[in-house]
């Protein structure tokens, strides 16, 4: 059973995984995973389109300052996004319904940020997927471009 968090939606790995997870989570008092309650799924596509446009603009314009600014912007947005995801997980795993059928005193059910974690009889695993690889590759490519721009300026001077 699995869950995929896309840029604009959440789906199960299998056709009924999301509903099954929501059903199981109900017993321990977790909130329902509902796309409507996650505003990031609405505005993230706009952020990605804006970053893509800025990347194309920087690629066209060039200049080490522009490249460095874009790299810093991507990294800052990545850090803010990871913090936001961590806080969502924290809220999801700690703010439980007190009327839940199953209560384990002192137990929280926060999924792991990255990696695996045993939550009662379920091994929860959270790993980055292909979107993270594309973001990492873009930062690396812009990093190489930045170094190349700096090197070329040094040769021309």
102/105 Cα distance (integer angstroms): 10
| Confidence class for position 131, pLDDT limits 50, 70, 90 | confident
**Whole-number pLDDT of residue 155:** 62
To the question of pTM greater than 0.75 for the whole model, the response is: yes
| 6: region left, alpha or beta (phi > 0 left; psi from -120 to 50 alpha) | beta
Domain spans of the chain? Answer: 3-156
**Whole-number pLDDT of residue 61:** 87
124/112 Cα distance (integer angstroms): 7
Give the DSSP letter of residue 117: E
| Confidence class for position 30, pLDDT limits 50, 70, 90 | very high
Whether residue 156 is predicted with pLDDT greater than 70 in this model: the reply is: no
Whether residue 135 is predicted with pLDDT greater than 60 in this model: the reply is: yes
What does the pLDDT look like over 40-75, one tens digit per residue? 999 999 999 999 999 999 989 888 899 999 999 999
Report CA torsion sign: 96, 102, 107, 108: negative
Give the pLDDT mean for 92-113.
Answer: 89
Whether residue 127 is predicted with pLDDT greater than 60 in this model: the reply is: yes
Whether residue 108 is predicted with pLDDT greater than 70 in this model: the reply is: yes
69/65 Cα distance (integer angstroms): 6
**Whole-number pLDDT of residue 157:** 43
């Amino acid at each position: 059973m699995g869950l995929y968090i896309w840029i604009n939606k959440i789906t199960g790995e299998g056709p009924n995984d999301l509903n099954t997870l929501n059903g199981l989570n109900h017993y321990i008092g977790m909130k329902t995973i509902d796309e409507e309650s996650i505003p990031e799924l609405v505005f993230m596509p706009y952020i990605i389109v804006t970053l893509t446009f800025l990347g194309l603009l920087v690629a066209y314009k060039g200049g080490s300052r522009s490249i460095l600014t874009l790299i810093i912007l991507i990294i800052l947005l990545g850090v803010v996004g990871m913090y936001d995801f961590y806080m969502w997980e924290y809220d999801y795993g700690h703010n439980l319904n007190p009327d839940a059928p199953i209560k384990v005193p002192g137990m929280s059910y926060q999924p792991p940020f990255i990696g695996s974690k045993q939550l009662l009889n379920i091994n929860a695993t959270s790993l980055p997927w292909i979107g993270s690889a594309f973001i990492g590759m873009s930062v690396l490519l812009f990093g190489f471009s930045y170094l190349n721009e700096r090197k070329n300026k040094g040769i021309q001077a």
